[in-house]
Amino acid sequence: MMTTLDSPPLVVLLDDIVRGHRPRTEAGSVPANIPHLQSPPFDRFGIAVATTSGELFSSGDADLPFSIQSISKVFTLAMALGADDSGSLWSRVLREPSGTSFNSLVQLEVEHGIPRNPFINSGALVVTDHLMERTPDAAAQVLRFLTGQVGHQNGRQGPFIDEMAAKSELSSSSRNLALAHFLKEFGNLRRPAQAVVENYVRQCSIMMTCVEVAKAGLFLAQDGRGVQGAVISRSEAKRIGSIMLTCGMYDAAGEFAYRVGLPGKSGVGGGILAIVPGQCAICVWSPRLDSKGNSLAGTAALADLSDRTGWSIF
């Protein structure tokens, strides 16, 4: 049976999930090449649910900011599609699972500079390049979009770019620069490679809480409508959800679909955004990752939540 969104039951359920899934050991790993992701304590765990009826539920460390990393790719894709009147974006990036590492150089060369999907790094660089046609500071544009979707914060800081972290991450972004130069060589990057990578790294370095990510992603659960009106069309919201389901969890999208049954997008900062179409957006965060780069505790918690609520697209 699908659970109802009455406040006490869902609040109790989220508290129980936090108790059951908050890490007790340092299992898993953190990204070795991103210095600022080494610091969060292993036992951090937060979860938030923003509903289409305007309610918000959270538990654990849901109000602590974390680096959203590749979760940003969902928002940049939505922004690019929302401004893409010609439909040209889909001539530059495909919509297929990669089957290889999210930062594979070999696949990009074999496939002549057309990335498999917008959620691997090469695809996200193309999307960022597409956004930069409207403004050279695409990362600031992404931040403004997220701030608008999150809405009034009651005096809280809201989303922000951790510029020091971005600078540190950029210093170890040789592979992303290589991907950008490959794209440039194949004619699939219109802006300078260095500028595109800088914007990409800065958007990945946006800091948000679980509450903020859930609120920002809610437009995907309500036919493309955000707090300030239509972000994308209903059909585009459906299609982004389908790409999240098939490509959103690095090379473990099939396993996530099997265990959780919802469109999701993870980031190596330990966050996962999941969408229940027509009902809610969920964000869970726990920094320790599995071998595929997805939050260990976060994935387990979403599988548990799906089982206990009946939230699934299947």
List the catalytic residues.
70, 73, 200, 250, 268
> Distance (Å, rounded) from C-alpha 301 to C-alpha 17?
6
CA 158 to chain centre: 17
Q: Of 309, 311, 272, 308, nearest to 71 (Cα)? A: 272
Report in angstroms the alpha-carbon separations of 147 from 17, 102, 151: 28, 28, 6
Task: Report whether 123 contacts 103 (CB < 8 A).
Answer: no
CA-angle at 62, arms to 57 and 63, nearest 5°: 110
| Token pair listed for 60 | 């654990």
Q: What is the DSSP string of 256-278?
A: HHHHT-S-EEE-TTSEEEEEETT
By CB atoms closer than 10 A (0-12, 13-18, 19+), residue 167 is middle
